[in-house]
Amino acid sequence: MSHENNQHIVVVGTKPDIIKQAPIYHELRDRGHDVVLCHTGQHYDHNLSQSMLDEFGVREDINLEVRGGVNDLVSGITAKLALYLRGFSQRGGFPITYVHGDTTTAMAGALATFGERQALVHVEAGLRTLSPKPEVLKGWIEQGADLDWASFRAQSIDRASWSKGSREPSPEQFNTRVADAGSDLHAAPVELNREFLVDEGFAPAAIDVVGNSVVDALAQAVAGSDKNQVLQKFPQMGDGSFLRFCVHRRENTTNRDRFNLLMDAMEQLLEQGHHVLFIRLLGTESAIDTFGRRQWLEDLEARYGDALISTPVWDSYLDVVAAMSMCAVIVTDSGSIVEEANVLEVPCVTLRFGSDRSETFLAGSNFLAPPISKDLMVSVIHHVFEHRAELAWDRVYPEKASAMLVDAVERRLDEGSLLISEEWRYGLKAQLR
């Protein structure tokens, strides 16, 4: 079937968007599709945007240049993207919009396409947070510094230990639910995401498990790993002993108690003799200043010397991946980094009350350290570090995810079933009587 009237609009707004949407953009172009890259402007700092576009060889065709807080972004992206979609469809085209994950860009993009009744592909659909059941979490907190590692590990990989329903991360859990509600094709990373969507009433035929395109992005970065600059900048990382420590989630960087616990945990790890690569994102920098931690951090840097690398976010994904591969443990509140750690075979600790990448808990590559007890956080991180050689897991994300996703789109285009209707849902042909 000819696809000449179709235009594939790949929407990005954040650094993870660019990293994960770029392989899909290239896959569509390689197959001869008409592809437009639309940047909403949600992330506009060079290290978070232009450097990533350059590294992945993509160029924005449209920049909506939306700025402001969450509500400003939602209204601006929705209005501007809807205007573009309307114009294209009025000229007889069939636009297909791709939004990624759980960002404000994804949510607003879904609102725009749904309002214009245009097709939407939700890349990384069905992200739902699993958190430990109350009795499980309370047991871990009570153990604190005396955590029973064998029991903790067994509970971590047991689906019965976890429950759904958390509103964190926020606003991401809201965003992904809105995006799913407006989607015509749910491109789920793993079977667990399909399970969540089906449980919520989404049509199974509208869901394809296609993997995670971060695998394709990582393949590109690993292929160019000989060009990384990490050891030239930080030769002490060559011994493979560093913990990569980063926090940026809103709930961790706007809550004084949580942020102070996280920073105190990092300090205690240094006191125990661990080496730390501390990545300061924009939210981290703001929290450091807001909660009076700038002088404290400078004192730590002076006290621990080469054992503490404290640095702003890097502008090279190749270097980021190379450094992650060199680390002993990745300690983070990020979702995407959890995925990358699973693929790179580096054990991970999540500094949250749960994770929307809970498949990594069940696989045994990721462990939870909630920011409610410094002793518990330090104990989990230390145990993962000490036992890292015995940890082993299967990769949960298959290769060639972008190709599988585009296959799913093309199949639906050929069938005429990409845009969901009641006739499609009931398996009927539209007929006028």
CATH of the domain at 274: 3.40.50.2000
| DSSP state string for 225-259 | GGG--HHHH-GGGGGS-EEEEE---HHHHS-HHHH
Q: Which domain holds residue 22?
A: 6-128+166-211+398-426
Q: Please give the structure tokens belonging to residue 419.
A: 């845009």
Confidence of residue 5 (pLDDT cuts 50, 70, 90): confident
109 and 138 both lie in a single domain: no
55 in a structural domain: yes
91 in a structural domain: yes
185 and 205 both lie in a single domain: yes
Distance in Å from the first CA to the final CA of the chain: 28
Report pLDDT for 2.
Answer: 54
104 and 175 both lie in a single domain: yes
195 in a structural domain: yes
372 in a structural domain: yes
21 and 43 both lie in a single domain: yes
318 and 306 both lie in a single domain: yes
417 and 291 both lie in a single domain: no
88 and 19 both lie in a single domain: yes
Q: Is 94 exposed, middle or buried (0-12, 13-18, 19+ CB in 10 A)?
A: middle
> Which segment of 100-109, 132-141, 184-193 scores lowest on mean pLDDT?
100-109
276 and 154 both lie in a single domain: yes
Tens digits of residue pLDDT in 329-363: 999 999 999 999 999 999 999 999 999 999 999 99
Confidence of residue 432 (pLDDT cuts 50, 70, 90): very low
47-56, 154-163, 423-432 — most confident range: 154-163
Q: What is the mean pLDDT of the chain?
A: 94
The count of domains in the chain is: 2
Tens digits of residue pLDDT in 261-310: 999 999 999 999 999 999 999 999 999 999 999 999 999 999 999 999 99
Q: Is the pLDDT assigned to residue 430 strictly greater than 70?
A: no
191 and 296 both lie in a single domain: no
195 and 242 both lie in a single domain: no
Mean pLDDT of 1-17: 85
417 in a structural domain: yes
Please give the backbone phi and psi of residue 198, each rounded to the nearest 5 degrees, phi first. Answer: -65, -40
Report pLDDT for 224.
Answer: 82
432 in a structural domain: no
pTM of the predicted model, to two decimals?
0.94
22 in a structural domain: yes
Residues 390, 181: Cα–Cα separation, whole Å: 42
219 in a structural domain: no
Tens digits of residue pLDDT in 62-90: 998 888 888 888 899 899 989 988 988 88
